Chains A and B, each alone.
Chain A
Amino acid sequence: MKFVRIVSTPLEVLCPCRKARPITRRRLSPNEARFLFRLLTGFTTALLIIAGCDGPGPAEEPNEMVLHHVLSAKIKGLDPGNMRDVYSVIVASQMFEPLYQYHFLKRPYELVPLLAEDMPQISDDLLTYTIKIKKGVYFQADPCFGSRPAGPLPDVKGRELKAEDFVFSLKRIANIKYLSQNWSIFDNKIAGLDEFREYTKTCKSEAAVDYSRQVEGLTTPDDYTLVIKLKRPWPQLCMALADTATAPVAKEAVDYYLSDIISHPVGTGPFRLNVWRRGSYIELVRNPAFRGELYPSSGEPGDAEAGYLDDAGKPMPFADRVVWTVIEERQPAWLLFLQGKVDATVIPKDNFDEVMGGAGELTPAMKQRNIHLKTFKDPSTYWLGFNMAEPVLGKNKPLRSTISYAIDCEKFIELFFNNRHLIAHGLIPPVMPSYNPEIKEKEYAKYDPEKARELLKEAEKIHGGQLPTLKITLPGANTWYRQYGQFLKRNLNAVGLEVETEYMDRPTYLEKVNTKSVQMFTSGGSARTPDAQDFLAMFYSRNHAPGQNKFNYSNPEFDELYEKAQAMLDGPEKRRLYRKMEIIVLEDCPAAFLNHRVAYVLHHDWYKNYKPHAFAYGLSKYRRIDLAKRAAYRELLKTIK
């Protein structure tokens, strides 16, 4: 081995006042070469030792159908009873099934049975729900049932699902020692469940709770019948029973894994956990105990033309494996999508021009790759909220209206969302059945700086002089939030309001909002069900902070309508009440509503049955991969590069 090194003579070292002599070249001596060689060998060996600590996972078989997804945040746990973050719910929903689910194709959204045999029988007083459970549903094989899920002769099934499993799962959420984040769903709703929660306060630990203790509102006349008795009518119960939080969890699994249950999901769904490298990668494989389910045979008009009914009546799931890689940064997710290593992705803001041409179409470069675009309205609304408990804003409606009229929502959406979102003319997003199609004409979200200036004079009269500097609190300090703050500040300055912004981390922000220590705050919400109750509950006076009503808004007329609507089944009358409540809120202006999110998602043409859904998460069972098209894309990439 020969190394060449460029050196100068030591003359300049010997006599620094003299100029260095011209550079000469010489070969390294054998000793020097040996030294360098050893150095490099040592370094390489160290790398190889580290590399050898962790072997590679199995490579993908050519005919194996694998779904490749991206999660933009880590998942926190896979215990359905105690998770609320959307990423954990997405993954857990492929393994756990609740009683009901939303129809995959039909719009407006419709509930259909999943683990239930049929929709519930509801008593005339709307208080008793009788639900028949499907027979022949099994939990996956797991050591908690004494079964062997791996090895040369693995067990395929665990134990059969019984109605008692639902009772156990609901009692577990009520157990105060379990500290479930989902208790608010059932708080003060089911007869006897709150008393059970009181009892659990007396227990020393989560494991010490006696689950055989009777709860009046949760009974099982037989192994396949569940009866739920409510304290008062709660028409959203079926929607709650479509939430993954209410999916049955086997008591054997809870007792076996104890607090480690978050890492050992034991469900009845189409997939089961295979690999979970916390924080980076999660892989599910087909659950051999899955009873089987058929792809829907009907949908909404246009579904057949879009290819959504190509697999009608076929058994699901189609995929052999489902893989999620946690990628929090946009660039790697985007590059992996272009490499064909991810099936679908959102469009990163910085790559929007690369993807979208004029007239809302994809650019030729995207079309060349056979990439498809799906857009869908998200059930979300974002706003600049006002703390009504704060004296300056709370008692001055013209001031709140001034702020609302001063914000140019169209410009906001253009600057921050590449014109992708919709202006929020009201509180309820367009995708909800109770959305008021005439809300735009009422001009609550109109950008009108002239009117804002007029209202400001009135606001100053009410205040009794010049208004003090107002403060906007934002839940982040990154560039995006600073730009957002600057935008709001500039808009409000333009009509004569003095405004300052404060940026902070989300926990501090939440604490300030919950303790009513903010004046104005940026926030937003997304509905979990097609019922707009989630949005309206944010303005109910009994939900003041730290509850859902962060605006600390109170209006007796609104409260009365809210309580009335709570007990009504979905229908035109209930929707009329919802719209009336929305108008009351818009008139009182406890927030300046800004935008509704519209999702832009790209997917490769091999990714089939990708119909966006606003409320369902257990969708991997519907997805199918066209393996020939995926292989063709890899060939196409060679020509593109």
Chain B
Amino acid sequence: MSTYIIRRLLYTIPIVFGVLLLTFVLFILVGGDISVEIAGKGATQETIDEIREEYGLNKPLFLSWDSQFINHFKNSLTFNFGRARDREPVIDKIKRGLGPSLALTVPIFFGVVIISVSLALVAAFVRGTVWDILAVVICVAGMSIPYLSFILFGQYFLAYRWGLFPVFFSPELRMAQYVALPVLIGIAAGLGRNLRFFRTVMLDEMRNDYVRTAFAKGLTVRRVLFKHVLKNAMIPIITRVVLAIPFLFLGSLLLERFFGIPGLGYLMAEAIGSRDYFVISAMTYISALLFVVFNLITDTCYSLVDPRISLE
């Protein structure tokens, strides 16, 4: 297994290089010169030139050891992402946004996974009954309603009308208080598609011979569902769940905007809107690294849950 892991880690080198090259090409070559915009309204040419020098935009693009791409590559590898457009170090922005983003996305993630897997087991078990049909109808409805509607509805009724939660962030509140409603909305909005997926996975498992055998042997429902069915359904569950973890880092733009949570989703959207290349590049790079790492974890987990799979 260690050979496999080392090999996979080596694969990350060309992937990371590709990501860095792609972001560079997209934002520096295609995106164009950002110095005029940084300089502001009515700036003189000399100010623009100075900004180009400050940000290294006057250096050659590729063909030099001091080229823009080589510097971009070196800085990314050392996590020195430079300063954002407002001159704050990019890494500080990311560190600051990480906590609020994870406070939002981690509970949503666990909430959605735990509830949808549990409900999927039950729905698969009672398939064809009115409860199963009801679950499917609710899933389809949940998938069809736009995310924004969940937010507007939740904020207006649950927070403003019924006063169950605060409408917006306030410093007097504990994080759990102002994060509670967005987490609830995130879980409600994400439940539909996840429940539907996990129900299908569980149904596939329920149709297998070993389930019938288990019941024939007189095992309890709980034992069959949690010990056998859930374990055998773990491969698709792991694929979906573990590969979703890197995206937790990116936060949730809409929830963060509507509830005043200064997370990374907000940061990324703002950076794209203002073409803050340094922030976009750093976020893309870190996301790519996380994705590669969690992809490896996913593959490793396969062998842990299913002894028939060996990593070579």
Contacts and interface: CB of A to CB of B under 8 A. Distances in A.
- From B170, B259, B272, B274, name the one whose CB has the most chain A CB atoms within 10 angstroms: B170
A7 B171 contact: no
Interface stretch (A143-151, A311-319, A322-330, A448-456): A322-330
Contact of B257 (A56, A328, A508): A328
A179 interface: yes
Interface string A14-56: 1010011001000001011001000100010011101111111
A179 B107 CA distance: 43
A183 B47 CA distance: 9
Interface stretch (B6-14, B33-41, B236-244): B33-41
Interface of A is mostly: mixed
B86 interface: yes
Given A51-B175, A332-B260, A8 B103 contact: no
A86 interface: no
Interface string B89-107: 0000100110100110011
A337 to B, nearest CB: 10
Interface in B52-95: 54, 83, 85-88, 93
B270 A74 contact: yes
A302 interface: no
A183 B122 contact: no
Given A181-B40, A335-B159, A339-B160, A327 B260 contact: yes
A506 B273 contact: yes
Contacts of A546: 36, 43, 48
A176 B127 CA distance: 72
A7 B221 contact: yes
- From B118, B175, B260, B272, name the one whose CB has the most chain A CB atoms within 10 angstroms: B260
Contacts of A74: 270
Interface stretch (A156-164, A272-280, A397-405): A272-280
Contacts, number: 205
A187 B44 contact: yes
A77 B262 CA distance: 16
A588 B83 CA distance: 45
A377 interface: no
B17 interface: no
Size band of the interface chain A makes with B = 35 or more
A12 interface: yes
Nearest to A60: B172
Given A54-B174, A183-B47, A335 B222 contact: no
Interface of B: 32-34, 36-44, 46-48, 50-51, 54, 83, 85-88, 93, 96-97, 99, 102-103, 106-107, 110-111, 114, 118, 122, 125-131, 152, 155-156, 159-161, 163, 167-177, 179, 183, 206-207, 211-212, 215-216, 220-222, 224, 226, 257-262, 266-267, 270, 272-275
10 contacts: A55-B174, A56-B174, A84-B41, A179-B39, A184-B41, A279-B267, A335-B159, A543-B42, A548-B42, A641-B163
Interface of A: 5-8, 10, 12-14, 16, 19-20, 23, 29, 31-32, 35, 39, 43, 46-48, 50-60, 74, 76-77, 84, 176-177, 179, 181, 183-184, 187, 197, 201, 259, 262-263, 275, 277-281, 283, 325-329, 331-332, 335-336, 338-339, 341, 505-508, 510-511, 514, 543, 546-548, 641
Given A53-B103, A331-B156, A338-B160, 4 more contacts: A14-B215, A52-B176, A281-B260, A325-B260
